[in-house]
Amino acid sequence: MEKTTTRPAIPTETAIELCALIREEIRQEWHAEAARWCWLCEQEHAVKPEKMGFIKRPGNRGCPQINARYAREFLTN
């Protein structure tokens, strides 16, 4: 039998705050791969949280960057 791990949904307000924080940090390192991800998302969604990809995902999971930051800051002991 396969073990299934379900991650909790990220509260929308938290996801929006983390997104803004990550985008601000990435502006300092515009040459990084992560910056490209944010730039593409900003171009596609015009930084409107209700249109950003993480809102549409099941369980309100964030983009990989939001997921990683949320796990580091909120899910680790």
Contact 22, 66 (CB under 8 A): yes
Q: What is the pLDDT of residue 23?
A: 87
Burial 44-75 (b: 16+ CB within 10 A, else e): eeeeeeeebebeeeeeebbbebbbebbeeeee
pLDDT at 28: 81
**What is the count of structural domains for the chain?**
1
Q: Does a structural domain hold residue 26? A: yes
Q: What's the pLDDT score for residue 52?
A: 74
Tell whether 23 is covered by a domain. Answer: yes
Position 13: which residue type?
E
Predicted local distance difference test score (pLDDT) of residue 53: 63
For the record, the structure tokens of 62 come out as: 């964030």
Q: What is the pTM of this model?
A: 0.74
Report if residue 28 sits inside a domain.
yes
Ranges of residues in the chain whose predicted pLDDT is under 70: 1-7, 46-47, 53-60, 77
15 and 53 Cβ atoms separated by less than 8 Å: no
Count how many residues are written for the chain.
Answer: 77
Q: What is the pLDDT of residue 4?
A: 47
